[in-house]
Every structure is written in structure tokens, then in C-alpha cells.
Amino acid sequence: MKIVVCIKQVPDTNEVKLDPVTNTLIREGVPSIINHDDKSGIEAALQLKEKVGGTVTVVCMGPPQADVALREALAMGCDEAVLVSAREFGGSDTWATAVIIAAALNKIGYDLVITGRQAIDGDTAQVGPQIAENLQIPQVSYAEEIDVEGDSIIVKRQFEDRYHIIEVKTPCLLTALQELAAPRYMHARGVVEAYEKEIKVFGYEDLKDSLKLEDIGLKGSPTNVFKSFTKQAKGVGTLHADLSVDEAVKVIIDKMEERHII
Amino acid sequence: MDFKLSKTHLLQQELFRRFAETEIKPIAEEMDESEVFDLELVKKLLKYGLMGIPYSRDYGGVGGDYLGYALCMEEISKVDASTGITISVHTSLACSCIDGFGTEEQKQKFLRPLVDGSKVGCFGLTEPNAGTDAAGQQTKAVLDGDHYIINGTKIFTTNSGFADTFVVFAMTDKSLGTKGISAFVIDRDMPGVKVGQQIKRMGIRAASNCEVSYENVKVPVANRLGKEGAGFKIAMKALDGGRIGIAAQSVGIAQGALNEAIKYVKERKQFGKRISSFQNTQFKVAELQTMIDAARLMTWRAAVTKDEGGNYGPEAAMAKLFASEMVNDVTRACVQLMGGYGYCREYPVERMMRDAKITEIYEGTSEAMKMVIAGSMKIS
């Protein structure tokens, strides 16, 4: 089975601070890491490979510095790494990013594509599903457990109040939750070998047969960011337990009157 | 000249740091208190290649180098010196004797399982009556056909509580002095190998360290490393490399202690101010970091010289001498910076100060280091 995992290099949000004036992330001096959900996707792919055989290719779109994220994936045991990087790709929103990654995946070939559910810096959860739409393959999002049966994948999909058990034929795309698999450490030998391997770089020239300039980059991005802001922390709530219905109603009414809501 | 780590060394350092923070730091205090090394941790060290760093992939090793090994020793020792010495004795003492002096057949048989993550090694040179004067070995190996019969007692054998493979030194000809010592690879399961109780120590209390006696142990001639009489040279060569590991361990303990002390002085308030705002604290921290950096550079220099095939012995001795004395000064100062809390077992600097002392003693005392350094200067 040819498994391709799409990963994103993100700032380690544990280390991130916000600029209090502009409300944007201060990225300077913040270490970069592989997005958590994506790393679980790598682990799930490696476990599948160990179980049914095949190869794991890891793909990352980003600036040349994303190289280190791919080396880490190789050091965990991935077989091949592809960096999708070009000036033309800069400024892409989720839609344009998915168009570019889909073009790269068509060039690489795949039976199963795994992406993380969402990235900790953008939090959109859009790129994975959009890649599947671009590739016109079935997708199952929020995968918590996966297994292989013949040419089908059985996915336990997390839902708000239940799970869905879904059987899907390959080729297909899954978006991985962190719960899917606890990522292994790199192996020390893997680190040494990761820097001996070549990382393929796909630029615009490599993908231009299946890309139009107007569909990618800032120009190809339908998203306009109106404003970005930090969620304000809410105050701690109060718990009123063991009240009768009448008492509960009174507490709520009193509170609303106190706040001049009613 | 470039003082920057390469990309591969940086990523190795990242692995060692993450592993140490996640797998070792949470259990370090408990291991020290119980004086028992966690065998699950040994399995993880083996699994992720931390026990075979500077050894060839031809034998299942990591294919790294001594600089990578020094980075591992530093990162691991930042959180736990006992785990540091466990890795060190296995890697730079047990494995290096076989790698440096074993035949191809011996490397396949004995080195491979030690560096591919299957087995743990230890090193038996020191005896109750032969420490720095290693030539005073009383353990004897007597040739009997295609076997040697080994009798004697070794003390302070690190890892012996759970190691599988023992590299042991014994006199094959007492009349020849140091040239009468030979090196043998002994399997734990060979009849007559008896591992005693854990020796109670001041620091690195979690590390396994026992007396091991050898009673009529029948060892095939095929298990002798090098020629008969080459043992002293083999041991000294191993210790030369081992000292790079101990220097790195010292740097790690010191940096770990200083990091803890910095965290504390930034929070602790006295006289209405954080104590980090006092110039006395700032100057002390600046001095300590400078000493640590000096020791780190000396350690890296010795490691790189070894990796490049140079004469690293005197550089390793200098790094070990300086770093081991530095870590004792630094950890003592860190306890002082933290006052009464620093003295409490609840904070790790107390353990780190106890752990620091041994670095001036094992794998060659500070005095032995001065003998090596002065010897290389040819001033007598």
C-alpha cells in the first residue's frame, strides 16, 4: 500500500506569544514543530505499513525551512519525503493550498492519503477535505481508529455524541485525530539516515501542467481575512447543584435581573 | 573553525532532549529514592538507539559519532545522571573495547547485540584493591586447553545488575605487570558469574552498581579480545573515550542544575523583589553559565578530535578534569542560590549536587587526569 501523509510545520503554540497591539502571533524565536494531528497521522501510517507492508511518503508544503519537519518524519521511519515549495505558492489560503497539494499527490501517486484533522496555527480543518475533493476521492474525517481489510479501510470516525464505523475503498483520504496514534520518537539511526536521504522538492515548474496560476497563491485564494483576534477568556462559571425546579428558575431570573438582561 | 552543530546533530539533540524530558525526568526522583534503575527505561533506551550511537550500521548501530554521543550524554544527564552513566558504561566502555579490538567474528557475535538494541554491556576493571593502580589486578585467567579459567572479584561494576555482556580484565601473566593483563568477553549466564548486591552510594544512586565475583568461570579462548597481554591497552583506550562521555555528563548535570536554579530565582521573592533582580544573583548565574560553556566547548573539541581520528586522549582528559570540577562548583552554587529549598530533596538540585561528586572519581580520578595531561606534555 502506498500511503502518503500530508504534514504542516507550525509554530509550537506552547511557546507562542501574541503581540498585544496587533493581536497577531509573534513567530520570532518560536520553535517550529510538526502539527500534532499530522504527527499522529505519520504514526498511523507507519503502523499500517508495519502491518500490511508498503511505503510511507511524507509531503509538506511550506518554505525551505520546512525541510527539518520532513527530516523528522524520515527519522521516525517514513521512506520518502517531498517538499512542495515555490514563490508562486506563497499567500495561498486553504483552497489554493489544497489545489497545490492535490497536484503534488497526483504526481506522487497514492492508495491512501492521511492528513491531520487541523493545524494548531490556523485551526480551519479545511485542507484535508478540500484535497480529497480536488482529487475526487472519498474522504473520512476525524479518524480515531483505522484498520485495513483487503482494498478497504475501516475507520472509526469520532462524532459529537457517537462514533461512525465507516468502510471506505482505496484510494481515499482520512483526516487524523491526535487520538488515532501516539507518535513514536525518532530513532537515533533514523536521524543519521534522514540527512543522508534526498528530499524531493516540487516547485511550480514541476506541477504547472496541472496548476493554473490564477488558482494558486494570493490570487487564487478566495478567503479574505477581515480581522484576526484572540478569544477572550471567559470568567469561571458558578455551579448551583441540587436545586428544585422553582429554585433553579429563581436563580436564573435573579441573575438575569442583576445583569439587567431582563 | 565552526562552533555550530550540524543539522543532523541538532536533530539528534532534539531527540535526546525530548526523550529525556518525557521518559526520564518524571521518574528520576523516584529512581534516586528507590536506588533501583527502571528496567522499562532500559528497554526504551535500547529501542530508540540511545545505546549504540557511535557504532557502525554494519553491526546494527546508529552510525553516528562521538559528538552525537556527547550530545546524548549531556541531554540525558541534564535530567538524570544515573541514566547518563548507564548509557556511558555500555557505550564507551563495554562496546568500545569490542569495536576497537575485536575480530570481525567477535564484533558480529558480541558487538552487534550490544549496539542493535538487544543487549546491555558492562565493564569490569576496578577491583577492591586495584583502582587507579589498575596494574594491581588480582583477578586471574589461567589457560586450560581452549578455555581460560577466570577467578577474582571486581567492584563498582556499573550496569552489572542487569547487563548481559561483561568485558572483564584479568591477569594472564602476573610477572609481566600491565603487559600481563588480558581482556575477555563474558556472558552473564556463564556458570560462576555472581553479581552481588547494589552498592549504597552518595549519588547516581539509581545506576546499577555491584560487586561481581568470578568463580572458576570457563571462558572460551575465542572470547579474548586482542592478544594475550593487550588488556591494559584496551582498558586505557576505552577509558580515554569514556572520559568524553563523563565530561558531557558533567556539562549536562551542571546545565540541568542551573536551569532549575534560574527557574527558581525568577519566581522567588525576598525583600519585596524577585531574587533574579538582584545583581548578586545575576552575576552568579553569569559566572556559572560561562563555566558550563567552557566545559562544553572542551568536551566537543575532544569528541570532534576523536571523530576525526586525532590524538584525543589528552583533550578528553582535560575536558573531564575541567568539567567534573566545574559541575561540583556549579551544583553547589545552584543549591546556594535556592537556599533552604535547594537543600530539600523535593527539588532536583539536591540530587544533582550529590550526583556531581562521582564525576571527579570514576573513569579516572582528577589526579589520574593530571597524570595523563602532564604525561602528554612530556615535562618530566
**CB-CB neighbours of B304 under 10 Å:** 17
CA-nearest residue to A77 within chain B is: B48
pLDDT at A26 over 80: no
Range of the domain at A170: 2-215
> With 80 as the cut, is the pLDDT of residue A35 above it?
yes
List the single residue in B7, B48, B68 with the smallest CB-CB distance to A187: B48
Residues B23-34 have pLDDT tens digits of: 999 999 999 999
Within a domain: residue A99? yes
- Contact at 8 Å (CB) between A221 and A93? yes
- Residues of A in Cβ contact (< 8 Å) with B49: 187-190
pLDDT (mean) for B4-13: 96
Does residue A257 lie in a domain region? no
Q: Please indicate whether, in this complex, the C-beta atoms of B63 and A193 are within 8 angstroms of each other.
A: yes
Neighbouring C-alpha atoms within 13 Å toward the C-beta of B297: 9
Q: Could you tell me which residues come within 8 angstroms of residue B52 by beta carbon, excluding any fewer than 6 positions away? A: A188, A189, B60, B61, B62, B91, B95, B114, B115, B116, B117
Q: CB burial class (10 A; 0-12, 13-18, 19+) of residue B162?
A: middle
pLDDT at residue A19, rounded to an integer: 76
Of A226-230, B144-148, B277-281, the range with the lowest mean pLDDT is: A226-230
| Whether residue A23 has pLDDT greater than 70 | no
Least confident interval from A15-19, A104-108, B103-107, B149-153: A15-19
Q: Do A68 and B11 make contact, defined as CB atoms within 8 angstroms? A: yes
Q: Is the pLDDT of residue A20 over 90?
A: no
* A195 vs B contacts (CB less than 8 Å): 7-8, 11
Q: Which of B325, B327, B356, B350 is nearest to B254 (CA)?
A: B327
B278 pLDDT exceeds 80?
yes
Shortest CA gap B269–chain A (Å): 25
CB contact set of B111 (below 8 Å; sequence gap of 6+): B55, B59, B95, B98, B99, B102
* Average pLDDT of the segment spanning A227-256: 85
The reply to whether A10 falls in a domain is yes
- The domain that holds A143 is classified in CATH as 3.40.50.620
What chain B holds in terms of domains, given with CATH numbers, is 7-115 (1.10.540.10), 121-231 (2.40.110.10), 233-377 (1.20.140.10)
Instruction: Give the pLDDT band (50/70/90) at residue A140.
Output: very high
Residue B185: pLDDT over 80: yes
- Read off the pLDDT of each residue in A28-38 and give the average, rounded to a whole number: 91
Residues B103-116 have a mean pLDDT of: 98
Given this model, what pLDDT does residue A24 score? 66
Mean pLDDT within B70-94: 98
Q: What is the pLDDT of residues A60-99, one digit of tens each?
A: 999 999 999 999 999 999 999 999 999 999 989 999 999 9
Identify the pLDDT of residue A21.
75
What pLDDT score does A41 carry? Answer: 98
Tell whether A227 is covered by a domain: no
User: Could you tell me the CA-to-CA distances from A229 to A23, A225, A226, B193 in Å, in that order?
Assistant: 6, 11, 10, 69
For chain A, the domain total comes to 1
Query: A186, B15: Cβ pair inside 8 Å?
Result: yes
Nearest chain A CA: its distance from B58 CA (Å): 12
For chain A, how big is the Rg over CA atoms in Å? Answer: 22
Q: What is the mean pLDDT of residues B236-248?
A: 96
